Chains A and B, each alone.
Chain A
Amino acid sequence: MKPRSLILVTVDCLRADHVGFLGYSRPVTPFLDSLAEKSAVFTDAIVAGAPTYFSFPAILASRYPLALGRDILGIAPHEQTIASALKNAGHRTAAFVAGNPYLSSRFGYNQGFDSFHDFLNSIPDGEPLSPGNGFKSTFNRFVQSSASHNSLTADAYEELYFWYCQWRSAAEGFSMDALRRYPAADVVVDQACSWLNELAKEPFFLWLHLMDPHHPYYPSGDALSALKSKISPRRAVFLNSLWNRGHVAVRRLERYREEVVSLYDAGIYWVDKQISRLAGFLKQSQFWDELVFAITADHGEEFLEHGARYHSPMSLPEQLIHVPLLLHVPALLGKQRVRTPFSLLHLAPTLLDAVGLPSPTSFQGRSFWPRIFTGELPSEPAVVECVEACTNPLRREDRIRPRLMAVRDQSYKLVINFREESERLYDLKNDPEERAALPLGDLPKERARLLQVAREHLQKTSRNLTVDLRLRSRLRELQQSAELKARVL
């Protein structure tokens, strides 16, 4: 049988509870919702790590993020991935990655692709209106710090800052398109369609990584209009500036939360619209009926549910680790719902199986493909791991820190913070929003069961360390830092 083609779309920061087919009430994903009626939807898909740099080794190489040692980033040189497996099987392969530097060739993500586009050359330097070091910025910081001593002056400062941002953005005439930090989904889809146009009838693998929901939140004006939002570019500048400020109290940020979420949702809407356009192109080109189409995310996004913003690896709440996963195979799958936890570690082997190919032996996950039809998926906990508070992975010392781990099954989630030597057990059935961890003495049997899973995971990690991949990665890093030094000198 001729192997099928495969399209994998990954959306940065897309959390599970912000897509209609998993229950979101705002109509941000009309196309995906209709597709879900004819697809397998994994209602409990869990990332293997967060954020991007801890999530993608599992998505593309079916390998836990810290399995080569926590100081190793990205895909190791010569490591087998879904792309290399498909390329070896004769597929044409291409990736269009909307400017996420952690998914660039520097970290091996180009491996296995005939054609790799990371758009990094088209990203503007610096944030719009980012604070500088000049007199005005120093004065601003002084005023801000002085005003923060009581709530009245702090509120007054905030209002002043808002008007200052309004004035600056009006003076500079910003548009959403000019403010956006990453190529929008329409740009990425256009390029993907051009690549598809050049194909003959050979099977292909296309990976698209879309950044529209990623902060700073500057969605397309059309998306905002479609969602009946009246947020102007000026207002968006203010919201993003405020949301990005470290010191602002949560209670104050709460006032702006709905507007920030509206901007985020508009990014999701734009992704949905462009995927709909891609699907239309694929139908017209008669590719659609022959391919496996999957869409998921590398992690979610926090909007103050637990006090945090964005997606830093600080506590692994559901907003960060629970992502959508939809698998569409026109000729084979109808509407299916997989309700057991599904780690994205198993995604690459499942997709390869769906395409009709075996997985490389290096993959740590396994295929769930045949079981999707029978509905007999094993209910096993998903393990999520990252280096706690590692927000700048480019610094090696930031990577040599204690782990943060979550073991998540259908009913419970245990989050282990190794730096604090503490654990938090959540009862997801009765407290899905993780409002309060259960008291330490509660449910010792469930606690021990999940701890046992964590222990086995760590034992496997140390026992199965692939020394050659680790070494190659370290040599690559050394080579890159030497090249960087040479450029600087």
Chain B
Amino acid sequence: MTKVRTVSLPQDLCAEAERQFGGRFDNIEALLTFVLQEITKADTSLLDQAEEQIIEKRLKDLGYL
């Protein structure tokens, strides 16, 4: 099992998040896990980077980089 870490958050913020998203997430940990996964998710940014590299390679081939 993945090790877990405890973080401290303002209580009223957690309550508000539970009020707004309680129906969609089992608990506040699940909501925050989703948010952090979204921030760190790499699938779209990896494609961006790969595309930038394709252009850079082409520019190098043409002698313009």
A binds B: yes
Chain A residues close to B by CB (< 8 Å): 69-71, 400-403, 416, 418, 421, 423, 444, 447-448, 451-452, 454-455, 458-459, 461-462, 465, 467, 470-471, 474-475, 478-479, 482
Secondary structure at chain B's binding surface: helix, strand, loop or mixed? helix
* Complexed CA–CA distance, A448 and B58 (Å): 8
Q: Which of A416, A448, A465 has the most CB of B within 10 A?
A: A448
- Report the nearest B residue to A462, measured CB to CB: B48
* Contacts known (A71-B44, A403-B47, A418-B54); A471 close to B38, Cβ less than 8 A: yes
CB pair A70–B44 under 8 Å, yes or no, is yes
Which of B24, B51, B56, B63 is within 8 Å of A418, CB to CB?
A: B51
Asked if B8 lies at the interface with its beta carbon under 8 angstroms from chain A, I say no
Q: Which residues of B contact A475 (CB under 8 A)?
A: 21, 35
A400 to B59 alpha-carbon distance, docked (Å):
25
Q: Is there a chain A Cβ closer than 8 Å to B39's Cβ?
A: yes
B50 contacts across to A, CB distance below 8 A: 418
- Give CA–CA (A379, B49) in the complex, Å: 28
A54 to chain B, nearest CB (A): 15
Query: In the complex, what's the smallest C-beta–C-beta distance from B55 to chain A, in angstroms?
Result: 5
Q: Are A478 and B51 in contact (CB under 8 A)?
A: no
**Given the known A-B contacts A447-B62, A462-B49, are A454 and B24 also in contact in the complex, defined by CB atoms under 8 Å?**
no
Beta-carbon contact of A471 and B35 below 8 Å: yes
Which residues of A have CB within 8 Å of B63?
444
Instruction: Say yes or no: A458 contacts B45, CB within 8 Å.
Output: no
Question: Within the complex, what minimum Cβ distance (angstroms) separates A395 from chain B?
Answer: 14
Interface hits, B8-65 → A, CB 8 Å:
21, 23-24, 34-35, 38-39, 43-45, 47-52, 54-56, 58-59, 62-64
Bound CA–CA A403/B38 (angstroms): 21
Are B58 and A451 in contact (CB-based, < 8 A)? Answer: yes
In the complex the two chains form, what is the Cα distance from A318 to B49 in whole Å? 28
Whether A479 touches B24, Cβ cut-off 8 Å, given contacts A452-B59, A471-B35, is yes
Q: Are B51 and A403 in contact (CB under 8 A)?
A: yes
Report if A482-B23 is in contact (Cβ < 8 Å); known contacts: A402-B51, A459-B52, A461-B48: yes
- CB < 8 Å neighbour of B55 from A69, A444, A454, A479: A454
Chain B residue at minimum C-beta to C-beta distance from A478: B24
Contacts of B24 in A (CB 8 A): 478-479, 482
Contact indicator A451/B62 (Cβ below 8 Å): yes
Bound together, the chains give a CA A189 to CA B54 distance in angstroms of 47
A389–chain B nearest beta-carbon distance, Å? 14
Contact of A448 with B62 in the complex, beta carbons under 8 Å = yes
CB-based nearest A residue for B57: A421
> Which chain B positions have C-beta within 8 A of A455?
52, 55-56, 59
Q: Which residues of B contact A70 (CB under 8 A)?
A: 44, 47
Per the bound structure, the CA–CA distance linking A454 and B58 in Å amounts to 11
The secondary structure that dominates the A interface is: helix
Bound Cα distance from A444 to B60, whole angstroms: 11
Per the bound structure, the CA–CA distance linking A395 and B60 in Å amounts to: 36
Instruction: Please determine whether B45 and A478 come into contact, CB atoms closer than 8 angstroms.
Output: no
Whether B59 lies near A462 (C-beta < 8 A) is no
Supply 4 further A-B pairs (C-beta < 8 A) apart from A400-B44, A455-B56, A482-B24.
Answer: A416-B54, A418-B50, A451-B55, A451-B59
Residue of B nearest to A401 (CB): B47
Residues of B within 8 A of A454 (CB): 55
A416 to B50, CA, bound (A): 13
**Please, how many angstroms separate the alpha-carbon atoms of A455 and B56 in the complex?**
7
The contact of A458 among B21, B51, B58, by CB within 8 Å, is B51
Whether the Cβ atoms of A462 and B64 lie closer than 8 Å is no
In contact, A448 and B59 (Cβ under 8 angstroms): yes
**How many angstroms from the CA of A478 to the CA of B24 in the assembled complex?**
8
Task: A273 to B55: give the CA distance in the assembly, Å.
Answer: 46
15 A-B interface contacts by CB (under 8 A): A69-B44, A69-B45, A70-B44, A71-B43, A421-B54, A444-B63, A448-B59, A448-B62, A448-B64, A451-B58, A458-B52, A471-B35, A474-B38, A478-B34, A482-B24
Point out the residue from A458, A471, A482 that lies within 8 Å of B39, measured CB to CB. Answer: A471
Expressed in whole angstroms, the minimum distance between the Cβ of A194 and any Cβ of chain B is: 36
- Alpha-carbon distance between A462 and B52 when the two chains are bound, in angstroms: 10
Query: Which are the 8 A-B pairs with shortest beta-carbon distances?
Result: A448-B64, A69-B44, A482-B24, A455-B55, A458-B52, A418-B51, A448-B62, A444-B62
When distances are taken between beta carbons in the complex, the residues of chain B under 8 Å from A447 are 62
Closest-by-CB residue of B relative to A455 is B55
Can you name the residue of chain B whose Cβ is closest to the Cβ of A400? B43
A221 smallest CB distance to B (angstroms): 47
Shortest C-beta distance, A356 to chain B (Å), equals: 37
Q: Which residues of A contact B62 (CB under 8 A)?
A: 444, 447-448, 451
B9 to chain A, nearest CB (A): 17
Chain B: which residue is nearest A70 at the CB level? B44
Whole-angstrom distance between the alpha carbons of A462 and B48 in the complex? 7
User: Is the pair A423, B58 in contact by a Cβ cutoff of 8 Å?
Assistant: yes
Known: A470-B38, A471-B38, A482-B23. A402 touches B47 (CB 8 A): yes
User: Which residues of chain A come closer than 8 Å to B44, judged between CB atoms?
Assistant: 69-71, 400
